[in-house]
Structures are given as C-alpha cells and as structure tokens.
Amino acid sequence: MTASNEVQAEWQEKVRLLKEAIWQLETTINKKTNELQLTNHVSASELNRLKKDKWVNIQLNLHALCEQLLKKLRARKFELATLDHTNLSCILDQKTNPMLRKL
C-alpha cells in the first residue's frame, strides 16, 4: 500500500467517524427536543430558529474548539512535565557522577 493510499484511508476513516458523531449528536438533539415536550409552538419555533442561527452555531463551535484545545494543552503539559523530570534526573546524574568517582 502506498503512502498516499494510507493517508487517503486514514482520512476516509476520520470522515466516517465524524459522520457517525454528527449522526449521534443529531439523534441526541432530537431525543432531548422530544423530551422537552415542546407543546408550545412559540418555544418550538424559537428552538428551531436558534438551531439555524449562524452566530449561535459559531459560538457553540468556538466553545467546543476551546474545550478541545484546553484538553490537548493539559495533556501536553503532563507530557512536558514528565520530560522535564527526566531531564532534571539526567542533569543530576551528570553532576553527581564526577563527585562519586572522586570518592
């Protein structure tokens, strides 16, 4: 399998997973909407208007993106802390080895 085929297969899998996630979200939204038992026509129309509102959707997407970035930054911080600890151990070993050799 060539590299381009592997990349294409990887992206197709990502697209498939995203489509599945979107379908699950839409299903959840429909389920929660039905749970609200929107008998009042005004409430239902307001909810539909908000679903189609570009500004609201952009704000929700920004919020989701921010949460994802924070999650990745926290994970990266943990990785860097581990590397920093390892680096400090190596430096400490380098400083103590000459002293131990003198003894």
Which residue range(s) make up the domain with 72?
54-103
What would the pLDDT profile of 10-34 be if each residue is shown by its tens digit? 888 888 988 999 999 999 988 887 7
Residue 101 has pLDDT above 70, yes or no: no
For residues 96 and 59, state if they share a domain: yes
For residues 44 and 58, state if they share a domain: no
Strand locations in the chain, DSSP E? none
DSSP state of 37: T
For residues 8 and 29, state if they share a domain: yes
| Alpha carbons 20 and 22: distance in angstroms, whole number | 5
SS3 call for 57 = helix
Q: How far is CA 88 from the centre of its chain?
A: 31
Q: Model-level pTM? A: 0.42
How many domains does the chain fold into?
Answer: 2
SS3 call for 33 = helix
DSSP state of 53: -
> At 27, which amino acid appears?
T
For residues 69 and 31, state if they share a domain: no
| Alpha carbons 87 and 94: distance in angstroms, whole number | 11
For residues 34 and 71, state if they share a domain: no
For residues 65 and 44, state if they share a domain: no
